[in-house]
Amino acid sequence: MKKNESRLKVISNIEKAIKENNYNKKVEEGDPIVTPADREKYIVNFDILRKKATNRKQAQLAAKFADMATKQENADTEIIGLENIKDLETGIITSNHFNKVDSTVVRHVLHKIKSKKKLYIIIQEANVLNEGQVGFLFKHCYTIPVSTNYDYMINNFTPSIEKIFKNKDFVLIYPEQEMWFNYRRPRPMKIGAYHYACKYNVPIIPCFVEIRNKEEIDDEGFAKLKYVMHIMKPIYPDLTKNFKQRKYDMQKQDYELKIAKYEEVYGRKYDAPFCVEDDIAGWVEEEQEA
């Protein structure tokens, strides 16, 4: 089956970003562009904690849809290291970011430990402008847009994050920043997750999703995927160090754990040259016409 051209373009963008040594670069095509007017209308007063009754109802409905998608996407997902999260009261979950529904793998983990806690997900502000069912989930499924708007980050985002930890819920952050389609390797991580872990003295829960190919081919010409979620031991802020050193140490530990797990499960060196067959999950060579 011929591969989806838009996916091939994204893979080309990934390879280009790697050559530029820019591992946090946007590679998706056609994502919404947030204007200052959009930011003022949709982001600044975003109801993060769903205080309004209508927003609570939409969040509950969105969570039900997400739970259904979680069962569908993770019917054969394996979890290794469940004991590393099951007794935690709260924390920041970090994971690799490789498709629009990869948060269902984390949600699947919470289902397995029968957690009643909410899973808040940090998203790019542009995601709030998406339409359709995915757009509905981005807007309402206990998502928290991160923004370049200073007032929003100081007066809305940060106090809400503090409240979430006080309520003993979980926050999912993708420190790699941008989604790279089916990319298997962990990528260098931004400091935000570790800043908030230190600010509120909560653990980082390092996760890495291993992505295996199945034999079936999907409608876009890629193999269907099976996930193996690896949950590693929590990383706690070292209170004997100053704040700056504390958060950079957590960032380094998380990145090193993900690299080690990548090398363990795939049997490849992390710094090996890019290879589409190995680095893009689901890649299969197209059959040549006779």
pLDDT one-digit tens code per residue, 14-69: 999 999 999 999 999 988 899 999 999 999 999 999 999 999 999 999 999 999 99
Q: What gap in Å lies between CA 243 and CA 139, rounded to an integer?
A: 33
Which positions ≥6 away from 184 have C-beta within 8 Å? 98, 211, 262, 266, 278, 279, 280, 281
The answer to whether the beta carbons of residues 93 and 164 sit under 8 Å apart is: no
Output the pLDDT for position 129.
92
Q: Classify residue 20 as left (phi > 0), alpha (psi -120 to 50) or beta.
A: alpha
Residue 289: band (very low, low, confident or very high) from pLDDT cuts 50, 70, 90: very low
Residue 84: band (very low, low, confident or very high) from pLDDT cuts 50, 70, 90: very high
Q: What are phi and psi of 224, to 5 degrees?
A: -70, 160
Output the pLDDT for position 287.
59
Output the pLDDT for position 30.
87
Which domains are present in the chain?
A: 5-279 (3.40.1130)
pTM above 0.85, yes or no: yes
User: pLDDT over 90 for what percent of the chain?
Assistant: 92
Tell me the CA distances in angstroms from 87 to 30, 94, 115, 178, one per residue in order. 41, 17, 10, 30
Residue 91: band (very low, low, confident or very high) from pLDDT cuts 50, 70, 90: very high
Output the pLDDT for position 4.
86
Strand-pairing partners, residue 217, are: 223
Output the pLDDT for position 288.
44
Range 144-165 average pLDDT? 96
Q: Which of 40-49, 241-250, 279-288 has the lowest mean pLDDT?
A: 279-288
User: pLDDT over 70 for what percent of the chain?
Assistant: 98
Mean residue pLDDT of the chain comes to 95
Q: Which of 1-10, 107-116, 224-233 has the lowest mean pLDDT?
A: 1-10
Residue 290: band (very low, low, confident or very high) from pLDDT cuts 50, 70, 90: very low
The answer to whether the beta carbons of residues 18 and 274 sit under 8 Å apart is: yes
Q: What gap in Å lies between CA 83 and CA 77, rounded to an integer?
A: 16
Range 88-94 average pLDDT? 97
